[in-house]
Chain A
C-alpha cells in the first residue's frame, strides 16, 4: 500500500511569511496526526484528527498555526505568520484505529521548514 505522502519536502521562508503543508494519509486511515520535530528532539504532537474532527489540539499554537481536514482524507497545516522558532521538520502520520486503539502510526517523510 502507498505510504503517507507529504509536500513540499523542503521550504525556506522569511519570518512573518505564511506557509502551508499538505498531507495525504494511507487510504482508509481515519486518524491523522501532525507533529513538529525540532532538531535534536523527538516529535511533538500538534494536532490529531479523527476523520474530519479534531481530537486533540492542546499543543497547537493557535495564534499562528491552523490545520484542517475538510473531507476526512487530506489535511493541510498552516503557519501564519512564521517565527524563527518554527524552523523544524513537520511530520504527518496516520493510523487505522478501527483495528483497535493504540496501534502503530505510519509517518510520512516530513517537510523541513527553515525560517530565516
Chain B
C-alpha cells in the first residue's frame, strides 16, 4: 500500500521559479526520503530527513518535516529545465524494518 501522497500531482513552472512539493503520510516514521525519476531513468536519491530533524538543505533543495502533521515539503529553488522529472517521497517506518514505502509521485515540468 502507498504510504505517502504527494501534492500537487503535477506542477508546471518557468525556469528560475521555485517549486514546492508536499508529501503527507499516515504512520509514524524513522525517516523520509525524496527521490527523483527522469523519463527513462531509474530513481535517484535526493535527500533524507530523519524524524528528529525539522529542516535540511542540499544545494538548491530544502526539505522540511513536520511529524505532528505527518507531512514534508521539498522546495527546489531557481529551477532548471533539467529538474523536469517525477518526484517521490518515501518513508521508512523503522522498528527494525528498513523498508521504504513510496508515494504515487508528482510530475514537475520546468519550461525553459
The chain A residues found within 8 Å of chain B, CB to CB, are: 4, 31, 40-45, 48, 56, 91, 93, 95, 97, 101-110
Q: Are A56 and B100 in contact (CB under 8 A)?
A: no
* Interface residue total, chain B, C-beta cutoff 8 A: 26
The chain B residues found within 8 Å of chain A, CB to CB, are: 2, 4, 30-31, 33, 35, 41-45, 48, 50, 88, 90, 92, 94, 97-105
Q: A31-B98, A102-B98 are in contact. List 8 more A-B contacts (CB 8 A).
A: A41-B2, A41-B104, A42-B104, A45-B100, A48-B99, A102-B50, A105-B43, A109-B42
Residues of chain B with a CB closer than 8 A to A4's CB: 42
The 8 closest A-B pairs by CB, nearest first: A42-B102, A104-B45, A107-B42, A107-B43, A109-B42, A102-B92, A43-B102, A102-B31
- CB nearest to B50 among chain A residues: A102
- CB nearest to B101 among chain A residues: A45
Task: Take A56-B99, A105-B100 as given contacts and tell me if A42 and B88 are in contact as well, using a CB distance cutoff of 8 Å.
Answer: yes
Q: How far is the CB of A99 from chain B (nearest CB, A)?
A: 12
Sample of 10 A–B contacts (CB below 8 Å): A41-B104, A41-B105, A42-B88, A42-B90, A45-B101, A102-B31, A102-B98, A103-B48, A107-B43, A107-B44
- CB nearest to A92 among chain B residues: B42
Q: How far is the CB of A18 from chain B (nearest CB, A)?
A: 24
